[in-house]
Amino acid sequence: MLASSIAIITVVVLIALKLGVGVVTSSIGVISQAVDSITDLMASVLAFYAVRKSMEPPDDLHPYGHSKVENLVSVIVGLIIVFAAVLVAREAAIRLVAGEVLQTIELGIVAMAIAVVVNLVVSAYLYRVARQERSLALEADAAHLRVDVLSSLGVLIGLVLARLTGLTFIDPLIALILAAYVLIAGLRLIRKAAADLLDENILPEEERIVRDVLGEHSAGYRSFHALKARRGGADSYLELHLAVEGDMRVEDAHALAEHLEDEIRRRLPHFRVSIHLEPAAPRG
């Protein structure tokens, strides 16, 4: 919650700074940064909501919890990024063709330098918290700010070059290039978030750990099958059928299943494991 609040405050301050400087300098690069920061604000607010919602316990309508809210929000953030990139590309193309006159370039240089430093610090903090809490929404928020770091740096370089060379077309040209980069970042974020919404399989290394646990305890059961797993926001879900000897005591079979579930969760804490017991076919 603190991480999302910090991101929102940071973005609000940067929006005011970039809009003011963009109007004064008539730089499409700086103005595009203001537009991008507005999308950052929307993303931060949505991420704040998603983190709170995903922490709610399961209910009658959502027996698996609310973790996929983060994925849904990440898709929305990705669409916002794509939309902003298209707007910036359009305006940059117009300025590139028509030409523009930059004013008080030094002010724009200072503003972009401040934006680079602030976004770099905040995005690094959000990434660290996102990894600790396995929060896709915070990761999306951090990714958006990291994109802002790179785009702000590009605009900063463009303004410096324009100041040194007097070639003002550099500003909209760099804005156009960065719009393409932002577009790709938005599409990648949508792809990653959609993977969990579509119940894609867990990572290969995670499945290998599950199979290692089962292999280490293979003496206690006959076989296993119907192994299915999926990712769902901060949690992953695993289920399988465990075939035990027909004469095995119910208490012993249940204890074995619980032990396997606990061992998998110990190595993969974000997993929710469900093992279904069934009697193995008679030998021979």
Question: Which domains are seen in the chain, by residue range?
Answer: 2-197 (1.20.1510.10), 204-279 (3.30.70.1350)
Q: How far apart are CA 6 and CA 51, in angstroms?
A: 14
256 CB-side CA count, 13 A? 24
Helix (H, G, I), strand (E, B) or coil at 127: helix
pTM: 0.62
Give the pLDDT of residue 251: 93
Pairing status of strand 223-232 against strand 235-244: antiparallel
- Identity of the amino acid at 95: R
Under DSSP, the state recorded for 218 is G
Contact between 28 and 172 (Cβ < 8 Å): yes
pLDDT for residue 275 = 95
Q: What is the largest CA-CA distance in the chain?
A: 88
Side-chain-side CA neighbours of 205 within 13 Å: the count stands at 2
Helix residue ranges per DSSP H, 26-104: 28-54, 68-98
DSSP E strands in the chain: the ranges are 223-232, 235-244, 271-279
What is residue 261's predicted lDDT score, i.e. its pLDDT? 94
Give, for 225, the enclosing helix (H) or strand (E).
Answer: strand 223-232
Residue holding tokens 């027909």? 246
Beta bridge partners of 243: 223, 278
* β-sheet with 235-244: strand ranges across: 223-232, 235-244, 271-279
10-residue block means of pLDDT along the chain (284 residues)? 73 82 77 74 73 78 77 83 83 76 79 86 85 74 76 81 81 80 83 78 87 93 90 79 92 94 93 92 74
- Determine the Cα–Cα distance for residues 23 and 62; give it in Å rounded to an integer: 48
